[in-house]
Chain A
């Protein structure tokens, strides 16, 4: 009898925790997507919380400092780290993505101050939703400019 009440109590706690985790996961899951996957999914992606990554096309960046309206386009890059490494690292992959006109692209809208790191050949990781018009509305915008930090071997070598 005494043992039972501890087991019942423990069981209730366990059930509550499982419920908490399951419901919270469902409520806040974000789907990682690449531009290609997003295009392939079409209408079914509309309304889901997404985390989209792509290479920023420098020429398309437009920013209105008055309204803080920021728009730009991103081109498809692979979501697989190993694949990126195999293709010569993130910096190389981003360079190719931006300079390849056949890659799929998505327009992004973000309202907020323009981040300093936003420039051509940066990797943008955006959370938000895709509208029915195919424009990605980002709530959050993270940027990586890999050339700067990950270059283990100094460049000036070859020229010196």
Chain B
């Protein structure tokens, strides 16, 4: 009854989305504001409709309606209610509805904005959003229906939406339960944040397409989509960071990023999005790279769909992938279709997207931004190559060959290093024209400071060349950026006669984008410290200890005390928890409690590390095995991850930086002319 109702509403929203898309095109073609308005209202209607359908699904999830196949797959009686709700995005069928629902949220929000200055975009923004929505709803309606039920037909159980002949509904006693790895708080919000990031990139794409179709290719679309992209970028970044932290906390391999195809799938739109956020500034300030920005937005959208496809289709095996599904070819078809149509539109509008000026100096800000874009695209190419390489090699040689993390690390390390270097110098160069001399004058102090740091590290910490180069670049980027803050604040202090702190807070408040960007640069440098630490200096050891025995690693001693194992019937979990004493150079530091949680319903383990975290290093201990008689011994794997905390500190600062930059400015309505702005912002290399 509920299942039919939920499905019915889903079908209705599918039809409404089709109506909205068709009416919008028809209204635009016939210049009929009434039709466009009708399309707009239909689009608005999809949000309550999909919400209703989702509410039914959540009702079924919460109330143990295991006759619904999706509910059976992702919940069980022992799961707490909040996890039953989040199970909505814990499986294939539900997560597609979740995608559609988020898209409806965003398209509703965008159709409610003030359209007076850009009304000609409206029908096309609706059309593009509607097409995307139709695609995802279609997936749910025809292939991955979350309301499919089990039917008992002559002794066999069959999943089906509608009752087969002579069938009765079959309700299993209990569900399979959500994969325990997905029950971690980080995992509860990691997928929705990634999806938010994915889905909100649909809007910039919709505006880009609207600009191409209407031929209004001035800065308007870029101004609107810039802010959307920034929020999308925030969610995507947040999702990626949380995913890393989750992996570190529960996957039990001492790492945070495994170059898994699905991680890369989420990382690729982040790369093009980041490139776009940089190159969009060149278009705003200098009127250059208009074609390029279009291509970046299109690419980001295609990568978003492609990323969803990789997680959904089971084409690539990965910890993230859901089971095999028939929807793969449809996703591929859709990605291809949108790419072809979008690129055709860009080619059609090529002449009116001409640059307004020319790029002259190789060291000008715009040239360095272009270089930054090339580096991001190079990393993208590396990632893309790594993901599709097994498919390509099989096609051409018949031999299935794959590349693992070493490939990505080796190929991207020089590119990331170059990005760090650019991060140090690009903000110091001027728009239009810069020379070695002006740049040198701006950076020599930071360079000397960075050199001092590097030499100090050489004598006290490490002699590995790669690490030293890395630390030098990090220090250079940090000092150069901090110097920018200092210089800006000093200039304002003198001009306005304010004290230093008033000056720096007003300076930042008045130039949110610029200083938000700098905060992000600093956070990137901090994250780089953590990554260098764990990638280059990670140490590990393992061993089986009997009570009172010790394992030694990097100055730490870990002594095995005891182990306890008990069932928690209410939660349906068995906990096995070890108690370890930790010493450093003979001094007692405290206890660690690595444990293994065994979930009865899904028969799966979750390995929770015992973690002691400091700014210098993390001691990360995993319980891997134990003897039946627990005091005989237990096996531990121990990692020491130097500096990794800086990765998380940097991540937090990173999110703060994006929010700072994206926060609406009060006087945004008045946009000064391009010339005036470019003069005021050329202050850098003075």
Residues of A within 8 A of B (CB): 2, 5-6, 9-10, 13, 16-17, 20-21, 23-25, 27-32, 51, 65-66, 68, 79, 81, 85, 112-114, 116, 127, 148-154, 156-158
Nearest-neighbour CB distance to chain A for B574, whole angstroms, equals 12
Cβ-based interface call for B121 (8 A):
no
Interface: B22 (CB within 8 A): no
Q: Which of A17, A79, A158 contacts B381, CB < 8 Å?
A: A17
Contact assessment for A21 and B602 in the assembled complex, using a CB-CB cutoff below 8 Å: no
Residues of B within 8 A of A24 (CB): 382, 403, 406-408, 410-411
- Inter-chain contacts of B374 with A (CB < 8 A): 10, 13
Q: Which residues of A contact B462 (CB under 8 A)?
A: none
Instruction: Tell me the minimal C-beta distance from B347 to chain A in angstroms.
Output: 21
The answer on a CB contact under 8 Å between A30 and B359 is: no
Asked if B624 contacts A28 (CB within 8 A), the reply is no
Given contacts A20-B414, A66-B544, A116-B605, contact A127 B172 (CB under 8 A): no
Q: Report the minimum CB–CB distance from A2 to chain B (whole Å).
A: 6
- 15 cross-chain CB contacts under 8 A: A9-B362, A13-B378, A20-B415, A21-B382, A29-B403, A30-B402, A30-B404, A32-B400, A32-B401, A65-B627, A68-B542, A112-B637, A149-B179, A152-B69, A153-B150
Query: Nearest chain-A residue to B635 (Cβ)?
Result: A113
Kindly identify which residue among B362, B403, B603 contacts A28, using a CB–CB cutoff of 8 Å.
B403
Nearest-neighbour CB distance to chain B for A87, whole angstroms, equals 14
Residues of B within 8 A of A (CB): 69, 72-73, 150, 152, 155-159, 170, 172-173, 176, 179, 323-324, 358-360, 362, 367, 371, 374, 378, 381-382, 385, 389-390, 399-404, 406-408, 410-411, 414-415, 542-544, 596, 602-605, 624-625, 627, 633, 635, 637
Do B400 and A79 touch (CB < 8 A)? yes
User: What chain A residues lie within 8 Å of B378 (beta carbons)?
Assistant: 13, 17, 20
Known: A30-B403, A65-B544. 14 other contacts (CB 8 A): A9-B371, A24-B403, A25-B403, A28-B403, A28-B410, A32-B400, A32-B401, A66-B544, A113-B637, A116-B596, A149-B323, A153-B158, A154-B72, A158-B155
Contact status A25-B385, CB under 8 Å: yes
- Decide if B637 touches A2 in the complex (CB within 8 Å): no
Interface majority SS (helix, strand, loop, mixed), chain B: mixed
Residues from chain B with a CB closer than 8 A to the CB of A32 are 390, 399-402
The contact of B411 among A13, A20, A30, A112, by CB within 8 Å, is A20
Bound state CA distance, A37 and B437, in angstroms?
A: 62
Given A17-B378, A17-B381, A21-B382, also A31-B401 (CB < 8 A): yes
Residue ID in chain B nearest A17 by CB atoms: B378
With A28-B410, A153-B150: A112-B324 Cβ-Cβ less than 8 Å: no
Residue of B nearest to A153 (CB): B157
Q: Which residues of chain B have C-beta atoms less than 8 A from A150's C-beta? A: 323
Closest to B361 in A: A2
Q: Which A residues touch B172, using CB under 8 A?
A: 154, 156-157
Whether A68 and B402, one on each chain, are in contact in the complex, defined by CB atoms closer than 8 angstroms, is no
A6–B323 CA distance with the chains assembled, in angstroms: 47
B324 near A85 with CB under 8 A, answer yes
**B173–A156 touching, CB < 8 Å:** yes
Docked Cα-Cα span, A133 to B542, in Å, equals: 27
B313: min CB distance to chain A, Å: 11
A65 touches B625 (CB 8 A): yes
| A153 neighbours in B (Cβ, 8 Å) | 150, 157-159
Neighbouring B residues of A127 by C-beta, 8 Å: 404
Contact between chains at B603 and A148 (CB < 8 Å): yes
Q: How far is the CA of A16 from the CA of B381 in the complex (A)?
A: 13
CA A5 to CA B364, docked complex, whole Å: 14
Q: Which residue of A is nearest B358, CB measured?
A: A2
User: How far apart are the CA atoms of A10 and B367 in the complex, in Å?
Assistant: 11
Contact call B544/A68, Cβ cutoff below 8 A? yes
Cα of A47 to Cα of B74 in the assembled complex, Å: 43
- Once the chains bind, are B407 and A28 in contact (CB under 8 Å)? yes
- Least CB distance, A110 to chain B, in whole angstroms: 12
Chain A CB within 10 Å, residue with most, of B152, B156, B410: B410
Q: What's the nearest-Cβ distance from chain A to residue B632, in Å?
A: 9
Bound together, the chains give a CA A65 to CA B630 distance in angstroms of 13
Whether A28 contacts B156 by the Cβ 8 Å rule is no
- A157 contacts across to B, CB distance below 8 A: 150, 152, 156-157, 170, 172
The reply to whether B401 and A113 contact each other, CB–CB distance below 8 Å, is no
Bound Cα distance A151, B159 (Å)? 12
Q: How far does the Cβ of B196 sit from chain A's closest Cβ, in whole Å?
A: 26
Question: Closest CB-CB distance, A10 to chain B, in whole Å?
Answer: 7
Chain A residues with CB under 8 Å of B367's CB are 6
Tell me the bound Cα distance from A121 to B371 in angstroms: 52
> Which chain B positions have C-beta within 8 A of A149?
176, 179, 323, 602
A111 to B152, CA, bound (A): 48
CA distance A5 to B176 in the complex (A): 62
Chain B residues near A151 (CB-CB < 8 A): 176
Contacts of B402 in A (CB 8 A): 29-30, 32, 51
Q: Shortest beta-carbon distance, A7 to chain B, in Å?
A: 12
Residues of A contacting B637 in the complex (Cβ-Cβ under 8 angstroms): 112-113
A113 proximity list for chain B (CB < 8 A): 542, 624-625, 635, 637
